[in-house]
Amino acid sequence: MNNIQSNTQVASSSSDTISANANSLQEKEISKDTESNITAKGNSITAYETSQTQKSAYRYALEQDAQHIKTLGKTFEQVDQSIANILTAGLLGD
């Protein structure tokens, strides 16, 4: 009989990879031009700040997804074990 197998190690590894990638999306500080008065300066600062906000939101979403993957891996492992216990006990019949 084929067994359904989950792999918590793969789930954990995938979760760790996603989490590490999320951590690489840290905010970066840039030097701001305080002397220029061109309109593009203000627009570029606004665009940069918006991109930093979006990057933070994306990093948070990746971290949440990584945690969900790890949790689901553990849950599937528990389900697999429960099914194996039922099959071992012969409760499903042959």
pLDDT in tens, 42-58: 888 888 899 999 999 99
Nearest CA to 80 out of 8, 10, 5 is that of: 5
**Looking at residues 26-31, what average pLDDT do you find?**
75
pLDDT at 79 over 80: yes
pLDDT at residue number 4: 58
Q: Report the pLDDT averaged over residues 56-85.
A: 90
Residue 32: pLDDT over 80: no
Q: What is the pLDDT of residue 57?
A: 92
Residue by residue, DSSP assigns 34-88 as SS---HHHHHHHHHHHHHHHHHHHHHHHHHHHHHHHHHHHHHHHHHHHHHHHHHH
pTM, full prediction: 0.62
Confidence check: pLDDT of 92 > 60? no
